[in-house]
């Protein structure tokens, strides 16, 4: 299992120039699902069924500047099948990719695992499990940095997405997320569409739209998409905390 994750993470890092890589696992029935999400170059839809072929790389024009013979994914897929699982890929060309695989769940003796109180590894690890978890969906690095600095004195766990597609994927794999700060204008998938998909997955998850534009049309479109509130950039920490309190998210 360690080798499979290592291969997937190395592959994600290789094709991710900016943004980040997120990985973890969660229990689904009698299986464990492991995942690696990146914000890299992505994989065209017509090529996704070939990425596990031996010696195959997605597209020479896309991968020419990256090292590797394309064996890592094929080997990892073979390992997963041998262990009784299945490997999948979801991607949007130019936006990133999610590789996930399942393995049978074989729990240890309950006495040995009594200290483990949570089945889901999606819980943030850099803080205690009681910490509040925010997803910042923002394609402007400076805006993300300013928001993170606003929260530096708070016991907040922060996840970041650079586009709407990545935001949806992070919400799907991180059930500990308590709030989404959704930038309206993002590449690949805008904030409106991302909010609709997030609300379909988790209707009760509060989403606050963030934008430098304050027109009534923007606010109405945000609410129609499912956003619970709207805040104007640059974001004031006190105003944001007030809106979070009003939404009773903490």
User: Are residue 100 and residue 143 in the same domain, yes or no?
Assistant: no
Q: Indicate whether 112 belongs to any domain.
A: no
Q: Percent of the chain having pLDDT more than 90? A: 40
User: Are residue 83 and residue 155 in the same domain, yes or no?
Assistant: no
Q: Indicate whether 8 belongs to any domain.
A: yes
Per DSSP, 175 falls in state T
Q: Indicate whether 77 belongs to any domain.
A: yes
182 has pLDDT over 70 = yes
User: Are residue 139 and residue 240 in the same domain, yes or no?
Assistant: yes
Give whichever of 58-67, 102-111, 196-205 has the largest mean pLDDT: 196-205
User: Are residue 74 and residue 151 in the same domain, yes or no?
Assistant: no
What is the pairing mode between strands 87-92 and 132-137?
unpaired
Q: How does pLDDT run across 46-55, given as a tens digit for each residue?
A: 888 788 775 4
Average per-residue pLDDT in the chain? 82
What pLDDT, on the 0 to 100 scale, is given for residue 108?
60
User: Are residue 29 and residue 89 in the same domain, yes or no?
Assistant: yes
Taking each continuous run of H as one helix and of E as one strand, the counts in the chain are: 8, 9
Question: For the chain, what is the domain count?
Answer: 2
| Claim: this prediction has a pTM higher than 0.85 | no
pLDDT band for position 64 (cuts 50, 70, 90): very low
Q: Indicate whether 119 belongs to any domain.
A: no
What pLDDT, on the 0 to 100 scale, is given for residue 132?
87
Q: Indicate whether 116 belongs to any domain.
A: no
User: Are residue 138 and residue 236 in the same domain, yes or no?
Assistant: yes
User: Are residue 242 and residue 137 in the same domain, yes or no?
Assistant: yes
60 has pLDDT over 60 = no
User: Are residue 136 and residue 242 in the same domain, yes or no?
Assistant: yes
Q: Indicate whether 110 belongs to any domain.
A: no
Better-scored residue on pLDDT, 60 or 209:
209
* Site of tokens 């799907």: 172
A 10 A CB-CB count for 233 gives 16
Which candidate, 85, 97, 91, places its Cα nearest to that of 31?
A: 85
pLDDT band for position 128 (cuts 50, 70, 90): very low
Which candidate, 89, 177, 94, 97, places its Cα nearest to that of 137?
A: 177
Which candidate, 208, 17, 14, 28, places its Cα nearest to that of 100?
A: 28
Per DSSP, 42 falls in state -
CATH number of the domain encompassing residue 212? 3.40.50.2300
122 has pLDDT over 80 = no
User: Are residue 96 and residue 150 in the same domain, yes or no?
Assistant: no
Q: Indicate whether 114 belongs to any domain.
A: no
User: Are residue 88 and residue 144 in the same domain, yes or no?
Assistant: no
Are residues 19 and 33 in contact, defined by beta-carbon separation less than 8 angstroms? no
Query: Strands (DSSP E) along the chain, which ranges?
Result: 21-28, 31-38, 87-92, 96-104, 132-137, 156-161, 179-183, 207-211, 229-232
User: Are residue 161 and residue 224 in the same domain, yes or no?
Assistant: yes
Rounded alpha-carbon distances, angstroms, from residue 109 to 106, 115, 204: 10, 12, 35
Residues in CB range of 214: below 8 A, 6 or more apart:
232
Better-scored residue on pLDDT, 59 or 24:
24
Q: Indicate whether 120 belongs to any domain.
A: no
Q: Which domain holds residue 186?
A: 132-246
User: Are residue 174 and residue 240 in the same domain, yes or no?
Assistant: yes
CATH number of the domain encompassing residue 54? 3.30.565.10
């Amino acid at each position: 299992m360690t080798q499979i994750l290592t291969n997937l993470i190395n592959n994600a890092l290789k094709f991710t120039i900016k943004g980040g890589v997120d990985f973890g696992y969660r229990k689904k029935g009698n299986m464990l699902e492991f995942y690696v999400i990146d914000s890299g170059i992505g994989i065209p839809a017509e090529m996704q069924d070939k990425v596990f072929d031996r010696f195959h790389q997605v597209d020479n024009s896309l991968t020419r500047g990256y090292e590797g013979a394309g064996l890592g994914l094929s080997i990892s897929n073979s390992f997963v099948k041998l262990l009784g699982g299945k490997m999948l890929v979801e991607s949007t060309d130019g936006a990133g990719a999610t590789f996930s695989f399942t393995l049978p769940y074989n729990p240890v003796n309950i006495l040995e695992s009594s200290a483990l109180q949570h089945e889901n590894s999606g819980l943030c690890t850099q803080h205690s499990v009681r910490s509040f978890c925010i997803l910042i969906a923002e394609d402007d690095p400076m805006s993300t940095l300013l928001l993170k600095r606003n929260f530096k004195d708070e016991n907040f766990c922060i996840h970041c997405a650079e586009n709407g597609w990545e935001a949806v994927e992070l919400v799907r794999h991180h059930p500990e997320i308590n709030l989404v700060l959704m930038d309206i204008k993002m590449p690949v998938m805008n904030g409106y569409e991302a909010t609709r998909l997030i609300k379909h997955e988790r209707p009760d998850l509060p989403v606050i739209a963030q934008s430098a534009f304050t027109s009534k049309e923007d606010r109405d479109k945000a609410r129609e998409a499912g956003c619970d509130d709207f805040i104007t950039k640059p974001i004031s920490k006190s105003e944001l905390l007030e809106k979070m309190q009003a939404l009773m998210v903490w």
